[in-house]
Copies of this chain bind each other. A is one copy, B any other.
């Protein structure tokens, strides 16, 4: 394999000059740049990115910590983050925390040790001080940590309003909201707040359930939904905080013989691509996964480049009406 020395010999300059070209440091004439590039191509030179990253103090790696890449929402966001990272010359180290606090901290240490240029945090079980001690460009998804760490979220409050108002407009008399865990201090809690505000104002009977802390457990959803219908057989509308949970509600309706949307109206959340495959189609609040991924990468890169970035970044959601309402 060709080395920098081989290129220097071929061009007839010093190793230092070649290194200057490779790392874009100091004064480099256009002629020299061109001759080095030609020699690199001729000799099929593969720069050692690891050595270069030591010199430049830049690894061009972004770390991503999410709960679980096999959850469709995070899978879609990860796809777009990787796409835009690659487009901007960055690589992506993927970490699945399974919403485990210890695991999150271990990953943070690993990413710092690996000299990543920035971290996108989409899993949030740690305390505020664990974040503020990271001291790397960072963006959080769906959680506001401090005034100084930029975050991206879709408009959860608006999403909660849209979902609740739709169920009321369609005539539901007793509505359940199945929320993610409210102790995690996520911005998704605003969906719950909007539900409570709207439904209390309109004086409509309602209940709120929340999922456990232990990640995305389909069996847990099944039990939660099943006992909800047993305890509250008069529920005629459900606003679920994910399409996965909404699909579980639909499945339970089939099982116990409730027809959708006649006896039961269902609204999900996220707008995952798989939602369009289920019949009847589940009405949902679509989060802009592509824009979230694109913006996360942009905010990391702008911080790496020393630019000031907006701290609060809230993207619009969209109501998609399908046959479940």
Binding site for B on A (CB under 8 A): 46-51, 53-54, 59, 61, 68-72, 75-76, 78-79, 82-83, 86, 91-96, 109-110, 112-115, 218, 244, 247-248, 250-251, 254, 273-274, 276-280
Contact of A82 among B49, B95, B278 (CB under 8 A): B95
CA distance A82 to B277 in the complex (A): 28
Q: Is B70 a contact partner of A277 (Cβ separation < 8 A)?
A: no
List, sorted by A's number, 24 A–B pairs whose CB atoms are closer than 8 Å. A46-B113, A49-B114, A50-B59, A51-B54, A61-B93, A61-B114, A68-B79, A69-B75, A70-B72, A79-B96, A82-B96, A86-B95, A91-B93, A93-B94, A94-B94, A218-B276, A244-B274, A244-B277, A247-B274, A247-B278, A248-B277, A250-B279, A251-B277, A274-B274
Chain B residue, CB-CB nearest to A277: B247
User: Which B residues are CB-close (under 8 A) to A218?
Assistant: 273, 276-277
A303 to chain B, nearest CB (A): 19
The docked-state distance in angstroms from the alpha carbon of A75 to that of B109 is 25
Contact residues in B for A79 (Cβ distance below 8 Å): 68-70, 96
How far is the CB of A102 from the nearest CB of chain B, in Å?
A: 12
Contacts of A250 in B (CB 8 A): 279
From A109, which residue of chain B is reached at the shortest CB distance? B46
Given contacts A72-B72, A92-B93, A93-B94, 4 further A-B contacts (CB under 8 A): A50-B53, A50-B115, A69-B78, A274-B274
> Complex: how many Å from CA A218 to CA B47?
40
Given A69-B69, A69-B82 in contact, is the A113-B49 Cβ separation under 8 Å? yes
A49 touches B115 (CB 8 A): yes
A86 to chain B, nearest CB (A): 7
Contact: B93 with A114, CB < 8 Å? no
Per a CB cutoff under 8 Å, which of B115, B247, B248, B279 touches A48? B115
Verify A113–B70 contact, CB threshold 8 A: no
Q: Let me know if A83 and B96 touch, CB within 8 A.
A: yes
Bound CA–CA A82/B63 (angstroms): 13
Q: Chain B residues with Cβ under 8 A from A82's Cβ?
A: 69, 94-96
